[in-house]
């Protein structure tokens, strides 16, 4: 499909086992707890001490990604980020990953090799071992299912349910850029529908594209928190959007929240494209999703320590459950946060 002019090898030429061997050949296990990866009926992981974390995610073509503008290598990278982000959100270290793929006839071996190149780059970057998966034919499009395994010391695990009254609400990175990047890609796709040689215009918005096409998992933050011996009272990764994810914390922790609009970290590029599209950058920040940044709470007394880590913004604090979750505008009015729900 993607590889019009280049070599195309049919999957049937390799067969299922040949394909798996080819795709997994360049992966090397690096974690001490990975006793056996690809090649047997099951991967073998040393349970060690502490808590084992397990999380699974599904990505469907046409629902979660569009291959007209999502390069397969980037998709492979993103699949790893999506999977390990949930382990990070428990304050854990991701160690192993399985990736199962459902593949339709439009994909050749070279396409899947690109996908796995992206998976490998991400695995190397985040120190995760690909230890297995499953491979099957599918009728329509590409399906990716990832299961991530991670580990955390008992005293460091961060649940959604631990936020306490007056805790600070902290956020990493900036919000809404991935969503604006998606808008840009969709706009250019519509403009060039049917063109043989599309020349989309992305100048000035590279940051937004990168946030959409090559998201970052915040392993660096988890490591920095550990090094500073800071244990968040609660944590969640920002996959659905700040409003929805903060409401999850409030629901699990039986608390309310006050966040301040003028403290939301929003990039210059997000503002610029929002203006161009007559969209609201704050809506992008609150409801956009797919930022894969971390939202966490810490006791008020830890403000200085947390700020010293860098790259973290305090956007508000935890309140009593009865007050609900509120966004405070610069003129001092309160707007109740709502989750737009399942997209």
Q: What residue number has its CB nearest to Mg ion?
A: 134
Cβ–Cβ contacts within 10 Å for residue 53, how many? Answer: 21
Identify whether the C-beta of residue 294 lies closer than 8 Å to the C-beta of residue 218. Answer: yes
Name which of Mg ion, ligand ADP, none residue 133 binds, using a CB cut-off of 5 to 8 Å depending on partner kind.
ligand ADP
Binding-site size for ligand ADP (CB under 6 A) equals 15
Distance, C-alpha 103 to centroid of its chain: 23
What torsion do the CA atoms of 282, 287, 290, 292 make, to the nearest 10 degrees?
Answer: 70
The entry of ligand ADP, Mg ion, none near residue 15 (CB within 5 to 8 angstroms by kind) is none
Could you tell me the end-to-end alpha-carbon distance of the chain, in angstroms, rounded to an integer? Answer: 28
The pairing of strands 34-36 and 51-60 is unpaired
Minimum distance from CB of 137 to ligand ADP (Å)? 12
Options 94-102, 213-221, 225-233, 254-262: segment touching ligand ADP (CB under 6 A): 94-102
Q: Does the footprint of ligand ADP cover residue 41 (CB under 6 A)?
A: yes
Q: Which residue lies nearer to ligand ADP by CB, 36 or 336?
A: 36
d(CA 81, CA 320): 34
Identified binder of ligand ADP from the candidate list 45, 75, 97, 99, rule CB under 6 A? 99
249 touches 137 (CB < 8 A): no
**Which residues face 97 on adjacent strands?**
130, 148
Strand ranges in the chain using DSSP code E only, listed in sequence order: 34-36, 44-45, 51-60, 93-103, 129-132, 135-137, 143-152, 168-172, 234-237, 256-260, 294-298, 312-319, 325-328, 334-336
Comparing every residue's Cβ against ligand ADP, the nearest one is 132
DSSP code, position 162: G
Q: Choose the contact partner of 40 out of ligand ADP, Mg ion, none; CB within 5 to 8 A by kind.
A: ligand ADP
**Residue 337 engages ligand ADP in binding (rule: CB under 6 A):** no
Cα-Cα-Cα-Cα torsion 41, 43, 44, 50, nearest 10 degrees, comes to -140
Is residue 146 within the footprint of ligand ADP (CB under 6 A)? no
Q: Cβ of residue 111: shortest distance to ligand ADP, in angstroms? A: 13
Site string for ligand ADP, 230-269 (x = CB under 6 A): ----------------------------------------
User: Which one, 17 or 342, has the nearer CB to ligand ADP?
Assistant: 17
State the Cα angle at 269 between 263 and 272, rounded to 5°: 95
Query: In the complex with ligand ADP, which residue's Cβ is closer, 14 or 51?
Result: 14
24 binds ligand ADP (CB under 6 A): yes
The yes or no reply on residue 135 touching ligand ADP (CB under 6 A) is yes
Q: How far is the CB of 120 from ligand ADP (least distance, A)?
A: 11
Binding region for ligand ADP (CB under 6 A): 20, 23-24, 38-41, 99-101, 130, 132-135
């Amino acid at each position: 499909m993607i590889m019009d002019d280049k070599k195309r090898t049919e999957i049937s030429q390799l067969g299922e086992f040949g394909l798996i061997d080819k795709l997994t050949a360049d992966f090397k296990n690096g974690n001490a707890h990975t006793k056996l990866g690809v090649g047997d009926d099951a991967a073998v992981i040393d349970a060690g001490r502490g808590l084992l974390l397990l999380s699974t995610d599904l990505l469907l073509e046409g629902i979660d990604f569009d291959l007209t503008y999502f390069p397969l290598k980037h998709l492979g990278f993103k699949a790893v980020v999506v999977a390990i982000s949930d382990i990070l959100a428990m304050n854990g270290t991701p160690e192993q990953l399985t990736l199962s793929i459902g593949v339709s006839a439009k994909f050749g071996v070279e396409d899947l090799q690109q996908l796995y190149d992206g998976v490998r780059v991400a695995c190397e970057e985040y120190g995760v071992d690909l230890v297995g998966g499953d491979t099957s034919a599918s009728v329509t499009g590409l399906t990716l299912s990832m299961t991530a395994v991670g580990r955390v010391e008992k005293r460091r695990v961060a649940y959604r349910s631990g936020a306490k009254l007056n805790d600070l609400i902290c956020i990493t990175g900036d919000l809404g850029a991935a969503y604006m990047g998606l808008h840009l890609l969709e706009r250019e796709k519509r403009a060039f529908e049917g063109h043989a040689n599309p020349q989309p215009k992305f100048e000035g918005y590279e940051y937004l594209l990168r946030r959409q096409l090559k998201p970052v998992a915040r392993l660096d933050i988890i490591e920095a928190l550990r090094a500073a011996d800071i244990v968040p009272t609660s944590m969640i990764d920002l996959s659905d959007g700040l409003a929805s994810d903060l409401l999850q914390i409030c629901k699990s922790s039986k608390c309310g929240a006050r966040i301040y609009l003028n403290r939301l970290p929003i990039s210059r590029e997000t503002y610029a494209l929002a203006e161009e599209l007559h969209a609201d950058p704050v809506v992008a920040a609150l409801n956009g999703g797919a930022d894969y940044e971390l939202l966490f709470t810490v006791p008020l007394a830890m403000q200085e320590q947390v700020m010293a880590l860098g790259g973290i913004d305090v956007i508000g604090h935890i309140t009593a459950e009865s007050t609900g979750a509120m966004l405070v505008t610069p003129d001092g009015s309160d707007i109740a946060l709502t989750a737009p729900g399942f997209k």
